[in-house]
Amino acid sequence: MMNAKELADFLESNMTPTLAIAGDITCDAIVKVLRKQHEDLEYMQGQFERAIDFLAKCNGWSKTK
């Protein structure tokens, strides 16, 4: 299964950017949405990891245990 970044890369390399997929929605617009979703997910993952590190530090935990 592809993630948002892989799907955006696939669409960019294999489809005409101005190809109308559904009405006024173009492949280019879908690629932009997918790339934004990928960026948002990476940001949230980083925030989640920071929160886990903070909680671990507060409670004397170790991620390696």
Q: How far does Cα 39 stand from its chain's mean position? A: 5
Q: Which of 24-28, 38-42, 56-60 has the highest mean pLDDT?
A: 38-42
The confidence score (pLDDT) of residue 14 equals 76
Beta bridge partners of 25: 22
Check residue 15 and report its DSSP letter: S
The whole-angstrom separation of Cα 32 and Cα 29 is: 5
Q: Is the distance from CB of 38 to CB of 8 less than 8 angstroms?
A: yes
Q: What is the mean pLDDT of residues 1-12?
A: 85
pTM above 0.85, yes or no: no
* Residue 35 pLDDT: 92
Q: Provide the pLDDT for residue 63.
A: 63
- Residue 10 confidence (pLDDT) above 90: no
